[in-house]
Structure 1
Amino acid sequence: MIYTLTLNPSVDYIMELDSFQKGGLNRSEKESAFPGGKGINVSRVLHVLNVECVALGFAGGFTGEYIKQFLNEEKIQTDFVEVEEASRINVKVKSDDETEINGSGPSIREEHIQKLLQQISSLTEEDMIVLAGSIPGSVPKSFYQEIAERCKEQGTKVIIDAEKNLIQPVLSLNPFLIKPNHHELGEMFDVKIESVDDAIHYGKKLKDYGVENVMVSMAEKGALLLTGKEVLYSSVPSGELQSSVGAGDSTVAGFLAGLARGWRIEDAFRLGTSAGSATAYSIGLCSSEKVESLFEEIQITKK
Structure 2
Amino acid sequence: MIYTVTFNPSLDYIVWVPKLTDGATNRSEAQALYPGGKGINVSIMLSNLGYASKALGFSAGFTGREIERLLEENGCDAEFIPLHQGNSRINIKIKSAQETEINAPGPHIPSEALNELFQRLDACGPEDILVLAGSIPKSLPSDIYEQIMLRLRGHKTRIVVDATGDLLKNALKYHPFLVKPNAAELEELYGIRCDTMDKIKQGAMRVRQDGALNVLVSLGKDGALLIDQHGRLHTSPAPSGTLVNSVGSGDSMVAGFLAGYLKEQDYAVAFRMGIAAGSATAFQEWLATKAQVLKEYQALKEYQPLKEYQPLKEYQPLQTPSQTSPEFPG
The answer, yes or no, to whether TM exceeds 0.5 is: yes
- Report SS of the residue matched to 1:252: helix
2:51 counterpart letter in structure 1: V
Deviation (angstroms), 1:197:
1.5
- Report SS of the residue matched to 2:215: strand
Distance 1:195 1:151 in 2: 37
1:238 equivalent to 2:240? Answer: yes
1:258 equivalent to 2:246? Answer: no
RMSD of the alignment, in Å? Answer: 1.3
1:289 equivalent to 2:287? Answer: no
1:147 equivalent to 2:124? Answer: no
Q: For residues 259 and 95 of structure 1, do their structure 2 counterparts lie closer, same or farther at Cα, with a shift above 3 Å needed?
A: same
1:23 counterpart letter in structure 2: G
1:108 counterpart letter in structure 2: I
1:194 equivalent to 2:195? Answer: yes
Distance 2:95 2:221 in 1: 25
Partner of 1:127: 128
Distance 2:40 2:132 in 1: 11
Deviation (angstroms), 1:221:
2.4
1:47 equivalent to 2:47? Answer: yes
Distance 2:222 2:13 in 1: 32
Distance 2:21 2:10 in 1: 26
Partner of 1:36: 36
**Contact kept? 2:132, 2:160, Cα under 8 Å:** yes
Deviation (angstroms), 1:134:
0.2
The alignment's TM-score, normalised by the length of structure 2, stands at: 0.89
How many residues in Structure 1 have an aligned counterpart in Structure 2?
Answer: 303
Deviation (angstroms), 1:68:
0.4
Distance 2:209 2:26 in 1: 53
Distance 1:239 1:215 in 2: 21
- Report SS of the residue matched to 2:27: coil
Distance 2:196 2:298 in 1: 25
Deviation digits for residues 11-36 of structure 1 (CA, Å, limit 9, x no counterpart): 00112222223222222221211100
2:132 counterpart letter in structure 1: L
Partner of 1:10: 10
Deviation digits for residues 119-142 of structure 1 (CA, Å, limit 9, x no counterpart): 111111111111100000000001
Distance 2:75 2:251 in 1: 19
Partner of 2:158: 157
Deviation (angstroms), 1:97:
2.3
Partner of 1:87: 88
Deviation (angstroms), 1:46:
0.5
Partner of 2:179: 178
Partner of 2:324: none
Comparing 222-231 and 175-184, the one that deviates more: 222-231
1:68 equivalent to 2:68? Answer: yes
Deviation digits for residues 226-256 of structure 1 (CA, Å, limit 9, x no counterpart): 1112111122211122222111111100000
- Report SS of the residue matched to 1:239: coil
**Contact kept? 1:151, 1:158, Cα under 8 Å:** no
Comparing 290-299 and 133-142, the one that deviates more: 290-299
Partner of 2:204: 203
Partner of 1:109: 110
Partner of 2:325: none
Distance 1:36 1:204 in 2: 31
Partner of 2:23: 23
Gaps in structure 1 of 5+ consecutive residues? none
**Contact kept? 1:151, 1:157, Cα under 8 Å:** no
Comparing 23-32 and 125-134, the one that deviates more: 23-32
Q: For residues 186 and 148 of structure 1, do their structure 2 counterparts lie closer, same or farther at Cα, with a shift above 3 Å needed?
A: same
Q: For residues 96 and 229 of structure 1, do their structure 2 counterparts lie closer, same or farther at Cα, with a shift above 3 Å needed?
A: closer
Distance 1:73 1:203 in 2: 37
Deviation digits for residues 175-227 of structure 1 (CA, Å, limit 9, x no counterpart): 11111011111211101211222122121111112211111111232211111
Distance 1:75 1:125 in 2: 25
**Contact kept? 1:51, 1:260, Cα under 8 Å:** no
- Report SS of the residue matched to 2:216: strand
